Amino acid sequence: MTAEGATLGIIINPVAGMGGSVGLKGTDGEDVLQEAWRRGARPVAEQRAHVAVSRLTELARPLRVLTGSGESGEDVVRAAGLDVEVVHESAPGPTTSADTRAAAEVMAARSVDLLLFVGGDGTARDVLAAVGDAVPVLGVPAGVKMHSAVFGTSPSNTGHLAALFLAGSPAARLREAEVMDLDETAFRSDRLSARLYGYARSPYERHLSQNAKAGSGASGEASLRLAAQQVAADMRPGNLYILGPGTSTRRVTDALGLPSTLLGVDAVMDGKTVGADLDEQALLEIMQGRQTWIVVGVLGGQGSLFGRGNQQISAEVIRRTGRDHIIVISSLEKLVALDTAALHVDTGDAEVDAMLAGHVRIETGPNRSTLFTVKA
C-alpha cells in the first residue's frame, strides 16, 4: 500500500444470485438467466455490494478504487462517494464472465492491494483464472452456490474484513483459500458434482470469513438418522413442513417414506408431499392459511443456516413462519468440526437476520439436542 492510501479493485457480477429465490440453483449461462427473468427473479448483487462498500467506507481510510463501468461496479462506488477510476468498459447488454476476467486482469496488472468481487462461486472462478495469486481477493457473497472459502460470512462482514485488511490489522491475515464450484447442470438434476479449481490468497478472520463447504463423516450417521425419525414422528397434523436442501433433511423424508429433492426445497403435510422443488413464490402461496414449520440442516464447514444454497426459503418465508417454528437438524460431529462456535444467517434482510440471531436448538439425536449461537 502506498503512502497515499490503499488501492482497491471492485468487480460486481450484476446477475449473481438471481436464480436462488426462483429455484434455479444458479445463474450460469444466458438461457438460465433468461429463465430467471421469466420466473420473476430480482437482481440482488448491487444491493449486497452496497452493504459491503458502505461498511467498508465506515471503517477504512480514504481509498482509491478501480472498477468496471456501470452496474459492474462504477454505480455502487460513486454512490458511496469514493474516488473511482473505471478500468474496463463492458459492452451493451448483460455483463459476462469475460468482462469479469478482463477487469480483474487490469486490476492485477495495476497491483491493487485487494480485489473485492461480488458474486458466487462462478465469479470466484473467473477472478482466480484472471489473477491467480498475484493479488489478494475477497468475495462478497451474492450468488446461489458459495462453497468457496474466499467469501465473507455476509456482505457487512465482508466489508468489515476488507477494511481490517486494508488497514494492515494483524487480525486479518492472508490464507490460501479454496475456490470451488458445482456443475450447475448436474445440480439442477439433483446431483452434487463439486470441483476444486485452485487456491487464492484471501484475507481471513475466523468470525468474518466462511470456510469451504465440508461433507459429513460416517460416525454421526446413526444419530442423525434417529434425530430425523424423531422430527418426522413429531410432525403435527394439519401443519405444513418446509424441508430445506441437503442430506440431513432428506433423512426426514426417508423417515416419512417420501421422495425428496436433495438440492431443492420440498413441502410435506400429513405424511404426504404437497410440493416438490419449490421456489420462493410457490412457498409463499402454499403457506397461506397454514401453520408452517421450516426444517433445515447445517451447511458443513461453513455453519450456515440460511443464505447458502437455500435462498428459496427467503427472508419473507422465514418472517411469515416465525423463529419459533424453525427446526434445525445436524449431526454433533458436523457441529464440533465447525471452525467457529456459531452458525451464520445471511438472508439479505437485516431485520430477519436480527430476528434469527441468538440461540437455536439443534436436534442431534433421538430426544437429544444442543444449543448453538446464531450470528448475522
Lowest mean pLDDT among 196-205, 263-272, 290-299, 329-338: 329-338
Tell me the average pLDDT across 333-338.
Answer: 82
Question: What pLDDT does 2 receive?
Answer: 46
What pLDDT, in 10s, does the model give residues 355-370? Answer: 999 999 999 988 889 9
Measured CA to CA, the distance from residue 183 to residue 280 in angstroms comes to 23
Give, in order, the Cα–Cα distances in Å from 60 to each of 3, 168, 273, 330.
15, 11, 51, 38
Give, in order, the Cα–Cα distances in Å from 275 to each of 23, 183, 190.
13, 25, 16
Lowest mean pLDDT among 25-39, 90-104, 119-133, 283-297: 25-39
Question: What pLDDT does 302 receive?
Answer: 80
CATH class of the domain at 6-204: alpha beta
- Confidence band for 3, pLDDT divided at 50, 70 and 90: very low
Question: What pLDDT does 300 receive?
Answer: 72
Tell me the average pLDDT across 80-99.
Answer: 88
Q: Residue 267 pLDDT more than 70? A: yes
- Confidence band for 144, pLDDT divided at 50, 70 and 90: confident
Amino acid at the residue 16: A
Tell me the average pLDDT across 100-128.
Answer: 96
Q: Residue 291 pLDDT more than 90? A: yes
Which of 110-131 are b and which e, b meaning 16 or more Cβ less than 10 Å from the residue's Cβ? Answer: eebbbbbbbbbbbbbbbbbbbb
Mean pLDDT, rounded, of the chain: 88
Biggest CA–CA distance in the chain, Å, is 67
Question: What pLDDT does 94 receive?
Answer: 74
Of the ranges 55-64, 142-151, 199-208, 337-346, which is most confident? Answer: 199-208
What proportion of the chain, given as a percentage, has pLDDT over 70?
A: 88
Q: CB count, 10 Å around CB of 109?
A: 12
Tell me the average pLDDT across 252-276.
Answer: 94
What pLDDT, in 10s, does the model give residues 160-218? Answer: 999 999 999 999 999 999 998 876 555 545 555 567 899 999 999 988 998 766 555 54
Q: Residue 305 pLDDT more than 50? A: yes
Give the count of alpha carbons within 13 A of 53, CB side only.
Answer: 31
Q: Residue 307 pLDDT more than 70? A: yes
Question: What pLDDT does 27 receive?
Answer: 62
Collapse the DSSP code of 143 into the 3-class scheme (helix H, G, I; strand E, B; otherwise coil) and give the result. Answer: coil
Tell me the average pLDDT across 112-130.
Answer: 96
Question: What pLDDT does 252 receive?
Answer: 96
Question: What pLDDT does 189 receive?
Answer: 54
